[in-house]
Amino acid sequence: MGPGVVVREVAFVRGATRLAHMAEQTLPEVAFVGRSNVGKSSLINCFLGRRSVARVSGSPGKTREINFYLVNGAFHVVDLPGFGYAKFSRAQRNVWRRTIARYVTERGVLRLVFQLIDARHPPTALDRDMLLLLKESPAAHVVALTKADKLSGNGRQQALYRTRRYVEGLGLELPLVLTSSEDGRGRAEMWDWVDVHVGPHIL
Ligand SMILES: Nc1nc2c(ncn2[C@@H]2O[C@H](COP(=O)(O)OP(=O)(O)O)[C@@H](O)[C@H]2O)c(=O)[nH]1
Ligand SMILES: [Mg+2]
């Protein structure tokens, strides 16, 4: 699927704060996860070719809902807030961590998780926790390095190299995709992974 991939229809389905409130497990799911401000809303919008399906925020960390979007009536894109909400208490963060952990390990229809990591910085402790948690998930796991437009060509190669080494150091071998919501870099490659793990002709 080339860069010209067109999404015909995107509909917001629901925002769930608990597993019990999630969409029924009838369609395959592709989740996007990452700490706040990593560029998740922007990348979801870019991936779907929409300006504002997912809210791009100037004040990160306000929402703590798992948002479901129905794409072409065929599969769900799931916006999964990551760990580490400074605004929440330790107890609240632990509850949220368990919710996310259960979602990625127990959700039968979850096929693919794009884990977003800022290309400009080494992975954080929260990124590491998520990398390790996703090891326990039956879904495929792809790392999307975000905001690649902010780096030079050399900086992008360094980001790839650094992240690959880091991931390997955790005993993981994962595909890495350099992405940018500004210039659309990586979008076609992300759709290729959807083809592989959700099925071809999903559009
Ligand atoms: N240069 C650049 N800025 C980005 C990119 N993606 C997001 N941003 C900016 O980063 C900030 C956080 O983006 P947002 O999508 O709300 O992040 P979220 O909190 O992870 O959902 C916003 O100011 C965006 O404009 C990108 O690919 N390139
Ligand atoms: Mg967001």
- Looking at the domain assignment, is residue 154 inside a domain? yes
Residue 100 lies in a domain: yes
Closest CA to 96 of 30, 17, 39, 36: 17
Residue-wise burial string across 140-163, b where 16 or more C-beta atoms lie within 10 A, e elsewhere:
bbbbbbbbbeebeeeebeebbeeb
Q: Could you tell me if residue 203 is inside a domain? A: no
* Residue 79 near residue 45 (C-beta atoms within 8 A): no
Q: Which ligand is nearest to the CA of 56?
A: 1
User: What does the pLDDT read at residue 1?
Assistant: 44
Average pLDDT rounded to a whole number, residues 1-5: 59
Ligand 2 geometric centre to CA of 56 (Å): 5
Which residue in this structure is represented by tokens 């925002």?
15
pLDDT given at position 51: 83
Ligand 1 surroundings by CB, under 6 angstroms: 34, 36-42, 56-57, 60, 146-147, 149-150, 180-182
Structure-model confidence comparison of residues 14 and 157, the more confident one? 157
> Is residue 118 situated within a structural domain?
yes
pLDDT tens readout for residues 21-73 = 887 889 999 999 998 889 999 999 999 998 887 776 555 445 578 899 999 99
pLDDT single digits (tens) 85-125: 667 788 888 888 899 999 999 999 999 999 999 999 999 99
Domain CATH code at residue 62 = 3.40.50.300
Residue 2 included in any domain: no
> Which of ligand 1's atoms lies nearest the C-alpha of 37?
19
Residue-level pLDDT at 85? 64
Q: What pTM was estimated for this model as a whole?
A: 0.94
pLDDT tens digits, one per residue of 141-161: 999 999 999 999 999 999 999
Between 89 and 166, the higher pLDDT residue: 166
Pocket-testing residue among 33, 35, 55, 56, ligand 1, by greatest number of atoms within 8 A of Cβ: 56
Instruction: Work out how many domains the chain is built from and give that number.
Output: 1
Quote the domain boundaries for residue 53: 10-197
C-beta separation of 43 from 37 below 8 A: no
Does residue 202 form part of some domain? no
At 89 the pLDDT is 82
Q: According to the model, what pLDDT value does residue 22 have?
A: 82
pLDDT given for residue 19 in this prediction: 84
